[in-house]
Structure 1
Amino acid sequence: MTSRPRNSMAAVLTLLMTGAIWLSVVFGIFAFVFLGIGLVASLNDGALQVPGAQAISEVSALDFAFVLVGLAIVLPGVVYVCLQLRRILSTLAEGDPFVPENAGRLSMIAIALAVMEVASMLLVISMRLFAAPGETVARPALSINLVVWAAVAALLVLSQVFREGTRLREEEKMTI
């Protein structure tokens, strides 16, 4: 059996994906801590004092809750997508990207992006529905991100291409 040379670009991209995963996790932890402090301050008439820190909040508790929910949906989604990409890149680095698992991984990335986008739209709708009457705070407008939906479609097509490529490769192995 001949050994294939490792793909150095895929190895670099795998390293970048690992960095993106860790940055997302660290950012998520800090964001949850600071938003949690803001939520507690908001629930406590806009002020919170703890030894060594003071939090003043002019943002409603409901707004903090919406941001926390959005963060709880998006950050795990980003980490999941990066993990799947890292797994795909590791097969590429080994010189064998056309494995059946990669087709499934591409489909799962597409589904994760679709879920995050739908959740984002539902969150915007909820924020607009639960706005207090006469509230002057600007609420985000509902928009359909066509780039995300095009990426979902492209990933689903690519997953089918990978499935077919894997099938053809297996068929070729059986040909004499």
Structure 2
Amino acid sequence: MRFPKPPSLGIRLPRLAQGQMSRLLGAVLWAAFWALTLATAASVCLFIFMIFVPLGVDGVRVTTDSGGITVPVPRVYILFAVGAITAYLGGFSLILNHLRAMVRALQMGDPFQPANVSRLKQIGLTLAVVTGGAWIGQYLVSRLVRGELEPPSVFDLVTPAFSVLVVFVLAEVFREGARLRRESELTI
């Protein structure tokens, strides 16, 4: 049985010639990598500045439907927050750097390199650490404001955990592709 063809929405996606998509991805990853790298460098500078310059922060006000609460924030908490943001940005800069290297290998026509397997595994590990760190940070902030914010649930980790598993599965696919390519080169 054939299903009827749905009507067109009038939106046509441009057809990209061979190699244009990888060039487009390379340009987007380049821009995103440098933006995150600059943001990470600025965050590191802010962290160093905050270590040596005393700040007069009395407290943070968290506002909810029930009013809000002012929580005194010790200097070490602020340093921890800036350090966590630095680690978060740095982790994603590292991920983008590995993705850029993989796109370069794709542009050369050789994506199934053994180096890409280790890059994918490092991406998966970095993504797991960043996700876990962000979850722990959200939990600590919810404890800091004493019940004004809901702590994150374990179910908030389902989608990121699935993403990490997908990256590790892709690493194994690339490993098998590299093995098959090596075998085909030796067969001749």
What TM bracket, shorter-length normalisation? 0.7 to 0.9
Selected match of 1:78 from 92, 95, 102: 92
What residue number does 2:34 align with? 22
What residue number does 2:5 align with? none
Cα distance in structure 2, aligned partners of 1:161 and 1:141: 37
Cα distance in structure 2, aligned partners of 1:172 and 1:88: 22
What residue number does 1:124 align with? 138
Find out whether 1:114 has 2:128 as its counterpart.
Answer: yes
What residue number does 1:156 align with? 168
Offset at 1:25?
Answer: 2.3
Q: Normalising to structure 2: TM-score of the pair?
A: 0.70
Cα distance in structure 1, aligned partners of 2:100 and 2:130: 19
Cα distance in structure 2, aligned partners of 1:139 and 1:69: 22
Cα distance in structure 2, aligned partners of 1:20 and 1:85: 11
Offset at 1:116?
Answer: 0.6
Residue segments in structure 1 that go unaligned for 5+ positions in a row? 1-5, 47-57
Offset at 1:128?
Answer: 4.2
Write out aligned runs for 1:22-61 (5 A): 22-31=34-43, 40-43=54-57, 60=73, 61=75
2:26 touches 2:104 (CA, 8 Å); kept in 1?
yes
Find out whether 1:142 has 2:152 as its counterpart.
Answer: yes
Cα 1:34–1:170 change in 2 (3 A) is closer
Superposed CA deviations along residues 20-54 of structure 1, whole A, max 9, x for unmatched, are 111112223445556756x84335x57xxxxxxxx
Q: Normalising to structure 1: TM-score of the pair?
A: 0.74
**Number of residue-to-residue matches in the alignment:** 156
1:124 touches 1:140 (CA, 8 Å); kept in 2?
no
1:66 touches 1:123 (CA, 8 Å); kept in 2?
no
Runs of 4 or more off by more than 6 Å in structure 1? Answer: none
The alignment yields a C-alpha RMSD, in angstroms, of 3.0
Q: What letter matches 2:84 in structure 1?
A: G
Residue segments in structure 2 that go unaligned for 5+ positions in a row? 1-17, 60-70
Q: Secondary structure at the match of 2:55?
A: helix
Selected match of 2:183 from 145, 158, 171: 171
What residue number does 1:3 align with? none
1:128 touches 1:139 (CA, 8 Å); kept in 2?
yes
Cα 1:161–1:118 change in 2 (3 A) is same
Cα 1:170–1:32 change in 2 (3 A) is closer
Superposed CA deviations along residues 82-140 of structure 1, whole A, max 9, x for unmatched, are 000000000001111011111111111000000111112222333345x2xxx568446
The percent identity for this pair of structures is 25
